[in-house]
Amino acid sequence: MKARIIEKDDVLKIVDLLREKYDVIAPFLITGRDTYFDTVTDSNRKDIKLHLPNPFYPPKRYVFPHIERLMRIKSNNNNIDIIVESDVKPLAIFGIRSCDLAGIGHLDRFYLGNAYRDCYYEARRKKLFLVNMVCTEVGVDITDDCFCLCTDTGPAAKELFDLQLMDLGKVYLVVAGTQLGEEFLSNPMFKHATEKDIELRRQILSEVRKSFKDTTSWFSATVRYISRGSVLEETWEEIGRRCLECGGCTYVCPACTCFTVTDRKIGDGEIERMRIWDSCALGGFTRMAGGFNPRKAVHDRRNRRFYRKLAHYFIQRELSMACVGCGRCAAVCHGDVGMPSVVEMIRRATAKLDAK
């Protein structure tokens, strides 16, 4: 392994180096659990934090923006011009967590891997440089909601990063995952890592893995129950009763892909066609013109959400569950029907049935 080390005081030099070529996004702390990703500027550079709870608003939006213009349409005397503009700048995300990285991997396979390629996603993705930060500080990086161990997406990502950083106590260990990352490591500020550093990485990760909360998520049983359709209607009803239909779980999810498209007027004879994140938790998600809605009840919508995320059919299609174990849905859900709770509810109720 061509691992390098960098002194703790020098780690932000990576950001400086990146800023020569990229707009750089990094995590910041307001206070306590309140954290966010933002663009690095000269004035906020010193406030970048590498150890902090993962921001609720996921960095997914830098490849799949919350609101994005698809095209502008100019009409003039029955003459219609459709204008597609691309102003995608190279972007680096410094300090993206392993779960969010797995989320981008899922989006890659979904938006670029099926019959049609999403060119808007592709344009952003191609210019993205990812610096992964391994979660090592229990209680800070890793909260009670985290369950990446169960989704096999963390705490240290195995792929998709250009560079990976890990805190070894006195220094950061830096590993390249791509050719681009490799080239980056040729900078003299990176020193060669020793066998000892690698051994320390192994030890720390081993300890970190043991410190996840006991009540982790039992996906395999639930994937099986959902895939074969043996989850009881009453379990879905219970999940539905607890859902407040706020859509929060979908907006914080690094693996959710749904969007709606809407036209809006922006000037004289000019409109823009926008795409905006949408949520299957909301009642209007499947309502057709004329009012017919094939999914009426809340529990029906929840059923579809978890089926879409966990059914074997889709796991085969996208090569991963549409869950990366970040725990955001668990943290934001007012009704405690985030992914880990739902997995647990389904497993318990259905296992009981199996035992009979």
Which position among 37, 110, 129, 147 is part of the footprint of another protein (CB under 8 A)? Answer: 110
Which of residues 29, 71, 189, 198 is near another protein by CB under 8 A?
Answer: 71
Stretch 120-149: interaction string toward another protein, x if CB under 8 A:
x-xx--------------------------
Taking the least distance from each CB to another protein, the nearer of 43 and 116 is: 116
Compare residues 71 and 232 and give the one whose CB is closer to another protein. Answer: 71
State the burial class of residue 305 (Cβ atoms within 10 Å of its Cβ: 0-12, 13-18, 19+): buried
Q: What is the smallest separation between the CB atom of 128 and another protein, expressed in angstroms?
A: 16
Pick from 136, 257, 341, 350: which binds another protein (CB under 8 A)? 257
**Contact (Cβ atoms closer than 8 angstroms) between residue 112 and residue 121:** yes
Q: How far is the CB of 158 from another protein (least distance, A)?
A: 27
Q: Binding to another protein by residue 237, rule CB under 8 A?
A: no
Distances (CA, A) of 16 to 19, 22, 27, 39, 40: 5, 10, 15, 13, 10
Q: Is residue 78 close enough to count as binding another protein by CB under 8 A?
A: yes
Shortest distance (Å) from residue 243 CB to another protein: 18
Q: Does 65 bind another protein (CB under 8 A)?
A: no
67 binds another protein (CB under 8 A): no
Compute the least distance from the CB of residue 86 to another protein, in Å: 4
Residues near another protein (CB under 8 A), total = 50
- Tell me if 258 contacts another protein by CB under 8 A: yes
* CA 331 – CA 334 distance, rounded (Å): 8
Peptide bond into 340 cis (omega under 30): no
Cα gap 308→117, rounded to integer Å: 20
Does residue 285 touch another protein according to CB under 8 A? Answer: yes
Long-range CB contacts for residues 347-353, cutoff 8 Å, separation at least 24: 347/218, 347/221, 347/222, 347/225, 349/231, 349/232, 349/234, 349/235, 350/221, 350/222, 350/225, 350/230, 350/231, 350/232, 350/235, 351/221, 353/230, 353/232
Binding site for another protein (CB under 8 A): 70-71, 73, 75, 78-80, 82, 84-86, 110-111, 114-120, 122-123, 229, 257-263, 265, 271, 273, 275, 278, 280, 285-290, 294-295, 304, 307-308, 311, 313-314
